[in-house]
Chains A and B, each alone.
Chain A
Amino acid sequence: MIIAERKPMKELLEMVSDVKRLLIVGCRGCVAVCSAGGDKEVSILAAALRLGMKKAGKQIEIDEDTLVRQCDPEYIDPLNDRASDYDAVLSMACGVGVNFIADRCPDVNVMPALNTTFYGANLSSGEWKEMCAGCGACVLHLTGGLCPVARCAKSLSNGPCGGSQGGRCEINPDVDCIWQQIYDKLSSLNRKEELRQIMPIRDWTTAGHGGPRRRIREDLLP
């Protein structure tokens, strides 16, 4: 899922410093699952902003709402009707939600409450880890299912660099060397010979370096 985290309160307070009527809109998609922008986080943020604004001697009225998703038109379009009730809408969705509201709700002054960080998985309660970079050209079948693009500090394609020591990455001993893991995984699958193949220079156009990406499935188009 998409992992995000709340922006620092100072940044958010500055963002809404001139707002009198604010709607905080959460999202029950990924950000709810990663405890960044679901119902609970919306109420916490609302309480924190109220307190922060009060401390700054400013008046603010904050309403709370949480949508099923902010990446489908049917959920965000109703915001158009509520636009006149608020000076600003603070979206607690990932960047997709903020953009989509901006795209579809002409009168809504939308702001982001979160920093969208990565595509990751939930290791344990309160801990998430990046697993995918969304590069658009998956090579996981060659690397035992472990992604060198997302999980190697240098996105290497052809094996561990000289900084791999004891299974750890040179940039930080808390970071695993994914190439060591790829090597171990393929060894255990009896496939390590495959690592002798030189992986050719990548085509990064699919990774967004070819411009904003779009996906179309003809059969589903209206």
Chain B
Amino acid sequence: MMAGSNLENVLRSGTFAVTGELGPPKSGDMEVVRKKARILKGHVDAVNITDCQTAIVRMSSLTAGLIALSEGVEPVMQMTCRDRNRIGMQADILGASALGIKNLLCLTGDHQKFGNHPQSKGVFDMDSIQLLQMVKGMRDDKKFQCGEDIKKAEPRLFLGCAANPFADPFEFRPVRLAKKVEAGADFVQTQIIYNIEKFRKFMEIVRDLGLHERCFILAGVTPPKSLGMARYMKKFVPGLDVTDEVIQRLSDAKDQKEEGIDICVDIINQVREIPGVSGVHVMAIEWEEAVPEIVKRAGLSDRPEPTGIEPVLTSTGAIEEAVDKARQEAKIELEGQLKKAKAEAQATRDLLAKEKEKVASEISGLKKQIEEAKNMVSRKEAEIRKLTEELKKAKESMDESQAVKPTVQAKEAAVGVSPLLSAREQQVLNSLNKGLAALKEVLGLDDAQFEAMRRFLEAEFMLQLGTAVVQAGPLETAKAESEVSRPVVETPTVEPAMEVSEDKRTERPKEVVNLVAKGNVALHNKDYPKAVEAFKKALEIASDDEKAKEGLEQAREALAKEKEAADKAVKVKEVEGLPPCPEELDPEEWKQKWIVRFTARGNVALMKGDYEAAKREFQKALELDPDYEKAKDGLRRAENQEDIFVPDVELGQEAVAAPKAEKAPESQKPEPAAEVKPEEETPPEEEAVPAEEEKEEVAEKPAAPQPKPKVEISAPAGEGVKDLSVASLAKDEPPLEERAKGIPEDVYKEPCTGVIQSVSIGDGDKAITVGGETALPFHTFEGDIPNMPRTAYEVLDAPPEEWPECLVRYYSDVINDSAAWAKKCVSEFGAEAICLSLDSTDPNGPNVSSADAAQIAKKVIEAVDVPIILWGCGNAEKDTETLREITSLIENRNVCIGPLTDANYRTLGATAMAFQYPVVASTPIDVNLAKQLNILLENLGVHLDHILMDPSIGAVGYGLEYTYSVMERIRLAALTQQDEKLSPPIVCNLGREVWKAKETRLPTDAELGDQERRGVLMEAITASTLLLAGGELAIMRHPKAINLTKVLIDGML
């Protein structure tokens, strides 16, 4: 016993328990609680008192619980973690225990958001499981949560918890219940059940975990009061599964309330059948009146007499009320008894009258004796009257005095009665009996006649006594007394009553009477050995006591029978080594129960990691049923020392899939290679890096393809690129047509309808032509690409100030002489074209005069024979001036001039047109602006085949994506939409963009690697990207980057 509460007693006795629910009022009105308690009283074993359910402020559960207790209803106090911290909770627990509360239901509590104070601060110092742990510690270890001892009177509480089989994740729900049981729950009440199937599955797992053996499970039910309520619950109450069937039944019903009760009863009947369910918890929310009806219809109205309900605190008012009530009850019962006896006497009298007449003459002598007895009875009557008078007086005085006192007085009065009665009165009765026995013999009466006569006489006797002496019935005064002393209904004690009546009928020694009575009680309780013992003892004292003899015989007979039955039972079951099968079960059922039980125990042991014990249990189960899969499985696990989590249970399909999936990795364990480990993910990445390098710079550092930042730190800057040569791309790949064999051509080919203008720069055989294609860049399979993209070396008109050393060093010998520089590019690096940037003419910079710049340009043009692009500083006015100056100096060299913008296209356009120079039309990065400038130039008379578009580009990391997108759109417009105005080739002046980026200027370090390599790659990547987007001519700076780009172009075409 944990607490000795009525609920605990009922559950432990194996009776199917019924609990109810009482919601305290949203006021201080005690009557509401009293009223609800009275409705439920006698129909349920205990009543849950909710703790501000749904977070709405109500009378506290402790207080309402005490009020219910004073009504004789056992409360189950609910306690949530929402409103109090561990200090407040422990304080309330001590108080509750002190005042007689014996059941505590531990809950986390609904979130305050749902209640009428959603702004409040939720405490949640702990959760329900931790609360259970704490109270268990207080009860069993006598310790506060902090570890301090509870020196006196630790709280004795029967601990409960809630479980919701319908919340998610379903598989975790039984596990969570297991945690609660582990933490200290003695019983559990479930969420409202409508979906029986799901609950059944839940219980199956619960049984497999052995939880039904470790705690009592009460299934929660609620009668839906109306269709609306059912719909509301289905829709809005989280974790409540109202089935469509229930909704349907209600909507079809004529009387929804009736149907609601029926639904509830049906559910109770079904959950009762589920093994492991020890009771039901009927929650009739604000519909307490339905509970008695539900309990009745479910056949559960025969509740065991409550025990252990003892309110500690009661007001004097309550005591008076209780005393009054008890007195009234006693009075009514007494009157009833008298009436009954009178009626019976009358009936017997009539019967006897006939008999009397028949035998009148022969019984005159006996009559005399009867007469005598009657006289004696009347004398007794007088005495009794006197005593009754006294009793009355005592009762009156009791009204005035305290409650305890009259009890004592009444007791004394009662005690006073019996000695007066017993002696002579018994004698009379005895002689009467003897006389009657003689009469029976003389008259040859049959048993019925005799019995009738005997009863008449006894009735008459009682009638005259005025107090009840009913055979084997309780002494009424004694009963009244017990009720007066305590406002608690107690089981009427059978033993003393029998004792008294026996005592009155015979003169047997009291001891014998006691023993015989004891024997009879034992007989009644089927405790035959005890009965035999009692009767034997009685016979030792009075060897000829008939009753004792009779009893002994009966007891022995019964004992023999029982033994026989037991022997039989043992014969059936001994083989299986099970405890004897209870009578109400057939052995096969019993066996099944034990198979499940052993398996459950096995699982419990398995869970605890006690594999030996688990093995034993599973073996036991298998002895009973060698084919029981669960036990087999368990045994296997125990032998392999595997742990279990959720045993395989046939759930819904999804649920079945889950455990299977779980198993899979286990079975794979021995082959770790099959799993992809994170370490294994890295090598492919590392491989990817050299692969890229191979593509673009195979020749470079072939021995050490992987970047080693450490080495490069120590290496002097500038050692990054030693070799400018680049190996060409592998070209041995079969053509696309071959690779795409079997795939219809139109799937991968999307031929274009437009054509890009061909633009030629330069003179003679060194002249280059770009453009002219009818396909997207490098889409050789879709159209004609007559001219490959080209690269040009950028040469400055003055020594560069901001070029990093790693770039300058290739030109350091010629840096002061643009012509020599250009020459070096052509002769040493094999430049296809030169772009002379006239940066120094910038009015915001050195502002070199146009004339001086023109001289430099002239020298450059004369120094090399490759095509030349003259690129101004970007200042429209100055560029016009400079470029015009240059064109006047050079004669018939076909140079390309730029940039032409919307500000100077008229003047420069005219110049270009005059000399038939190709021009660079430069616009801010935008398709429409580019097109617009082309149109303007065309309007001016510049043909599209003399225009190179410069859409303004950005280096990688500096808007490359935007550039790409714009160029792509230009190219698509020209090729797929035949937008002629966008058909000139595109020139990308990218070297300057790349080499002004911060990343190309930062020195070599561990993080960014070698500076030169970095710059080269940035330039090469920018170039290759732009060529893929549609660029035809790339103006670049670093020879290595140019070589890489060239190799790419070569490899792709």
Contacts and interface: CB of A to CB of B under 8 A. Distances in A.
- In the complex, A touching B (Cβ < 8 A): yes
A165 B239 contact: yes
Interface string B109-125: 11101100000001011
Contacts of A200: 130, 133
Interface in B613-660: 643, 645
Nearest to A184: B169
B897 interface: no
A164 B168 contact: yes
B641 to A, nearest CB: 14
Contacts of A158: 127, 129-130, 176, 179
B148 to A, nearest CB: 14
Nearest to B86: A201
B239 A163 contact: yes
A157 B127 CA distance: 7
A204 B125 contact: yes
Interface centre among A153, A162, A166, A171 (most CB of B within 10 A): A162
B126 A201 contact: yes
A180 B169 contact: yes
Contacts of B238: 162-165, 170
Given A156-B108, A165-B239, A170-B111, A202 B172 contact: no
Interface string A197-222: 01111101000000000000000000
A36 interface: no
Contacts of B134: 201
Interface in A106-121: none
Interface in B48-71: none
B501 interface: no
B164 interface: yes
B293 interface: no
B178 interface: yes
Interface in B232-284: 238-239
Nearest to B125: A204
B373 interface: no
A212 to B, nearest CB: 19
A198 B169 contact: no
Contact of B178 (A183, A196, A201): A196
Interface string A76-120: 000000000000000000000000000000000000000000000
Contact of B126 (A170, A195, A202): A202
B145 interface: yes
A177 interface: yes
Interface centre among A161, A177, A190, A198 (most CB of B within 10 A): A161
B645 A160 contact: no
Contacts of A184: 169
B712 interface: no
A180 B170 CA distance: 10
Given A164-B167, A164-B168, A154 B124 contact: yes
Interface string A161-198: 11111110011100001001001100100101101101
B113 A201 contact: no
B95 interface: no
A37 interface: no
A166 B109 CA distance: 20
A159 interface: yes
A155 interface: yes
A107 B117 CA distance: 41
A198 B179 contact: yes
A167 B170 CA distance: 11
A187 B171 CA distance: 11
Contact of A198 (B109, B124, B125, B129): B129
A127 B254 CA distance: 52
Contacts of B178: 196
Contacts of B436: none
Contacts of A170: 111, 114, 238-239
Contacts of B169: 160, 164, 180, 183-184
Nearest to B137: A201
Say which size band chain B's interface belongs to.
35 or more
B662 interface: yes
A154 B111 contact: yes
Contacts of B643: 193
Interface in B165-191: 167-169, 172, 175-176, 178-179, 182-183, 191
B665 interface: yes
Nearest to A157: B127
Contacts of B111: 153-154, 163, 170-171
A155 B665 contact: no
Contacts of A187: 662
B162 interface: yes
Contact of A153 (B113, B130, B163): B113
Contact of A190 (B113, B114, B607, B665): B665
Given A153-B111, A187-B662, A162 B191 contact: yes
Interface string B132-170: 011000000000010000000000000000111001110
B179 A196 contact: yes
Contacts of A161: 108, 127, 167
Contacts of B114: 170-171
A115 to B, nearest CB: 16
Contact of B133 (A156, A183, A201): A201
B108 A154 contact: yes
Contacts of B182: 198
Contact of B168 (A156, A167, A190): A167
A159 B179 contact: yes
Given A158-B130, A159-B176, A202-B126, A193 B168 contact: no
Nearest to B238: A170
A163 B113 CA distance: 13
Given A153-B111, A154-B124, A160 B130 contact: no
A210 to B, nearest CB: 14
Interface string B79-96: 001100010000000000
A202 B86 CA distance: 11
A192 B130 contact: no
A38 B372 CA distance: 118
Contacts of B239: 162-165, 170
B192 to A, nearest CB: 11
Interface centre among B82, B163, B164 (most CB of A within 10 A): B164
Contacts of B179: 158-159, 196, 198
Interface string B578-593: 0000000000000000
Contacts of A201: 86, 125-126, 130, 133-134, 145
Nearest to A159: B176
Contacts of B127: 154-158, 161
A192 B108 CA distance: 22
A155 B191 CA distance: 21
A102 B129 CA distance: 44
Nearest to B134: A201
A147 B127 CA distance: 15
Contacts of B645: 192-193, 196
A192 B662 CA distance: 10
A218 B191 CA distance: 54
Contacts of A202: 125-126
A160 B183 CA distance: 16
Nearest to A168: B238
Contacts of B172: 159-160, 183, 192, 195
Contact of A163 (B82, B86, B163, B167): B167
A162 B122 CA distance: 17
Nearest to B182: A198
7 contacts: A153-B111, A158-B129, A159-B175, A161-B127, A165-B168, A196-B175, A204-B125
Interface of A: 153-167, 170-172, 177, 180, 183-184, 187, 190, 192-193, 195-196, 198-202, 204
**Across chains A and B, which 6 residue pairs bring their CB atoms closest together, nearest first?**
A162-B164, A170-B238, A158-B129, A163-B238, A162-B239, A201-B130
Given A170-B238, A180-B169, A202-B126, 11 more contacts: A157-B129, A158-B129, A160-B176, A165-B167, A170-B114, A180-B168, A190-B665, A193-B643, A195-B175, A201-B86, A201-B125
